[in-house]
Chain A
């Protein structure tokens, strides 16, 4: 076994207790060894182990989406992001645990058991890309792929104290990402540092003839680390700093803002007036798209099927009823309801109109000379396991500061900005469409000065 492959496998085995990796150790070691032998030495990520969320198709490992309905499923093709990573010399370091079909904010909705927060096993690592975030935070891999529909990279990155990037919609191919909400989904990158996450994003970005929604652009070019934030205008949306925001989260963000000002940034308050409707808008559109996308899981073409079904409809219903977990079932039902006759106008059409207004809010802010917006990534630090399971709406509200970027299709990044009682707090930059380079410059500058592991 080559050195890189062996040490990557050893590091992943050490953090097995987190239940963040779904790939069996033996299979992982074998595959890493084979990949290391085949990796291109000239690639920009040569030898870098990158763990991959289990809703991104790989040829090396199974792709279960954290669901029993895809138990043991091996995709007949791989995601474009995976092809690009391998072409750059990266090693695909196994599949990471996630909420079933990326529906959740805690990784508690995985059919394969919840993942643990690396700093406190009684807490969740966030979700849905919680396994990816936990592995990066634990130092098992320098970077990982996650996916975003409403904040599923940034929220766990914030909870675990790592960097998480959601690119502009269309920046990265969705080919091979198992669809949840097609108008919202994007593959994102998590890393120990802005540079690690950005390097991975740069490699997986760019045009792809296999995805019609992927923008016809060259891969993202990484910016250099700026000397200061001189010339940057940072907007602070007042709706993201409500009076009931956790005081410690506010303290950490206030400190980050002060440091950005010291770096030369001009900071001004802005308003995004439709923010209060973002979560309800998201929880109409995302389940509606999910109910359609997940119709394909019926026990006919792939995955396990229910035994002894009476007729074909019985087969569909029993396979889906047995295969999907409670959160996925709930979202399929809500999605079907809001699209059904008599309710479409009241829910779905209204949500689409609100989505346009939310996107317009961002355009208005940027048109007034703001380069980037800065907000807390999440309203609290990592919560206790089980705390929000009984109340889905309370769980949904943990995405309150992240869903807007998905609804508007904008790039965003979560950067660690401090700790509260030992738990990480993330600060979020939201950028203008396809201006990830500007957003990364600001993130580099903040990362350099903020005491990310010190109490706020």
Chain B
């Protein structure tokens, strides 16, 4: 299952990831190799009806949905690159400008 340059660019847009022109050819080649490798799963004889595996306890036990805030050592004002008046500051979306 080889991918094209356009496939990689489309997926990069979905993943919100900038990919520069320089690294594109190698990414196309390596992604194709990885996807070719994992494609062997399609050929595996398996039970299509089998249920997906769930790790951990045999059944997921939902616990009561309680709010349990644990104190943080520092707040978002110290962690965020730009934080003003209780809000994270980001540039505008183009279409709303």
Contact = CB atoms under 8 A, between A and B. Distances in A.
Interface of A: 59, 73-77, 169-170, 183-184, 209-210, 212-213, 215, 274, 277, 280-281, 283-284, 291, 295, 298-305, 309-318, 320-322, 324, 326, 329-330, 332-334, 336-338, 340, 346-347, 349-359, 391-393, 396, 407-409
A215 B56 contact: yes
A305 B18 CA distance: 13
Contacts of A309: 91
B17 A321 contact: yes
B64 to A, nearest CB: 11
A351 B16 contact: no
A326 B27 CA distance: 9
Interface in B42-77: 42, 44, 46-48, 50-53, 55-57, 63, 68, 70, 72-76
Q: Is the interface of A mostly helix, strand, loop or mixed?
A: helix
A334 B31 contact: yes
B20 to A, nearest CB: 7
Most chain A beta carbons < 10 A, residue from B34, B42, B48:
B34
Contact of B31 (A215, A333, A396): A333
Contacts of B86: none
B6 to A, nearest CB: 13
A299 B37 CA distance: 33
B41 A350 contact: yes
25 contacts: A73-B79, A76-B73, A209-B68, A215-B56, A277-B44, A280-B37, A300-B81, A300-B88, A300-B90, A305-B81, A305-B82, A311-B94, A318-B18, A320-B16, A320-B18, A321-B17, A321-B20, A329-B27, A332-B15, A334-B34, A337-B31, A349-B52, A351-B38, A356-B50, A391-B33
B56 A336 contact: no
A232 B93 CA distance: 64
A284 B37 CA distance: 10
Contacts of A330: 27, 30-31, 34
A357 B45 CA distance: 11
A310 B91 contact: yes
Given A283-B38, A316-B16, A333 B80 contact: no
7 A-B pairs with least C-beta separation: A321-B18, A76-B72, A352-B52, A317-B18, A409-B55, A356-B53, A170-B56
Contact of B52 (A184, A300, A316, A353): A353
A337 B16 contact: no
A82 B48 CA distance: 42
A114 B46 CA distance: 40
B18 to A, nearest CB: 3
A346 B1 CA distance: 11
